Amino acid sequence: MAAFEINTRSAPFGAVTISSVVQSVERAARAFRAKFVADRTYRELSKLSQSQLRDIGLGDQDLNEFCRRIASRRV
What is the per-residue DSSP string for the chain? --SS----PPPPTTHHHHHHHHHHHHHHHHHHHHHHHHHHHHHHHHTS-HHHHHHTT--HHHHHHHHHHHHHHH-
Regions of the chain where pLDDT drops below 70:
1-5, 9, 11, 60, 74-75
Q: CA torsion sign, 63 to 65 to 69 to 71?
A: positive
How many CB atoms are closer than 10 A to CB 41? 18
Taking the model in full, what pTM does it have? 0.65
pLDDT at res. 32: 92
> What mean pLDDT, rounded, does the chain reach?
83
